[in-house]
Homo-oligomer: A and B are copies of this chain.
Amino acid sequence: MGQKNQFPELKNDLLLKALRGEEVSRPPVWMMRQAGRYLPQYMELREKYTFFERVETPELACEITLQPIDELEPDAAIIFSDILTVPQALGIDVQMVPGKGPVMGNPIRSAEEAFAILAENVPQKLNHVMEAITLTRHELSGRVPLIGFAGAPWTLFCYMVQGEGSKDFNMAKSFLYQEPEASRHLMRELTRATIDYLQAQIEAGAQVVQIFDSWAGLLSPEDFNEWALPSLMEITAAIRDVPVILFAKGAWYALERLGFKSGAAGLGLDWTISPEFAREKTRDEITLQGNFDPSRLLAPVDEIRRQTRRMIDRFGTRRYIANLGHGILPHVPVDHARAFVNTVKEYG
């Protein structure tokens, strides 16, 4: 493995420029979950290896990360991994059950179990992720920057307490109200683990990091302020060497605070937020990223092109990163994903 200062020179810095608020000829584009099931080459590896074999084998994670870069040529790569690596490092048993999603063998159901969680040696336990990042950074040869990522503490809390995916994560939310002290402990440890993990990813070669708070929108504005936002701010304050993108899905009510107070360089938006609303709430303080409705990639290609252009017209080309409003869906034809990426690249 090479050292950080031996990495190949970056040839496409559109994403970094957009995150710094610099002028760009057109917005950069990438897609959340761009390495995934809609790609036939990913499906081939999926038949040979289990989910965690793919995540935990640096060579496989690297290969998967590069697949969409070769196929679609977006302006950024994002390391193939999973947000549930951190709960695993904290002693939670995570199984991927086909057709159902993640299931925890030992969810946290009592204050005692929550207090037992301690963020010790998280980067060491997840060293395979750092190896995958370093390897991928070399293999990318500077074509595009490499994004590292982590789940936000609140979203990890949801899975660790609920024990599986859920429409409303009501066991996790109830736990906040029934065991506030234990919940605060767990959020503190998750925040510490996330900071250590992201710093190790940066050390290993991540040039941008994104934090996914996929279940932020389940919280009321007040609970978001109390339970989710402080962790996000603590993480962004601790990450000084690379730009941070926050994606708090569903937290439309917090855009102003996320834009002005979070210390992040970029803010991910889901598709329920209009460009005008987002710009009004955040003014020119932060780069916005998003927010094409993933279901719309199943529309005819002409309609995808038209809607993508319209999205950029409305966001503008400055302080903007074109992306989807959530992960790409498994049954999107590759040509439709390509139409989205190419329309952004041909813009203007």
Whether A303 contacts B177 by the Cβ 8 Å rule is yes
Q: Which of B253, B274, B298 contacts A174 (CB 8 A)?
A: B298
* A252 to B251 CA separation, bound complex (whole angstroms): 11
* Residue A220, interface by CB 8 Å: yes
Q: Which of B167, B219, B299 contacts A178 (CB 8 A)?
A: B299
Which residues of B sit under 8 angstroms from A326, Cβ to Cβ?
168
Against B, the Cβ 8 Å flags (1 = close, 0 = not) of A273-298 are: 11001000000000000000111101
* Residue A173, interface by CB 8 Å: yes
Whether B298 contacts A178 by the Cβ 8 Å rule is yes
* Residue A313, interface by CB 8 Å: no
* A217 to B249 CA separation, bound complex (whole angstroms): 12
Whether A272 contacts B217 by the Cβ 8 Å rule is yes
* Residue A243, interface by CB 8 Å: no
Residue of A295, A298, A329 with most partner-chain B CB within 10 A: A295
Which residues of B sit under 8 angstroms from A168, Cβ to Cβ?
294-295, 326
* A298 to B183 CA separation, bound complex (whole angstroms): 15
Q: What is the interface size of chain A, counting residues whose CB is below 8 A from a CB of the partner?
A: 31
Whether A296 contacts B253 by the Cβ 8 Å rule is no
Whether A167 contacts B170 by the Cβ 8 Å rule is no
Q: How far is the CB of A275 from chain B (nearest CB, A)?
A: 10
* Residue A223, interface by CB 8 Å: yes
- Contacts A168-B326, A170-B295 known; list 6 others, CB within 8 Å: A168-B294, A173-B296, A174-B295, A177-B298, A220-B293, A253-B274
19 residue pairs bridging A and B, Cβ less than 8 Å apart: A167-B167, A168-B294, A168-B326, A170-B329, A173-B296, A173-B298, A174-B298, A174-B299, A177-B295, A177-B299, A177-B303, A178-B299, A220-B271, A220-B272, A220-B274, A220-B293, A221-B274, A252-B272, A253-B277
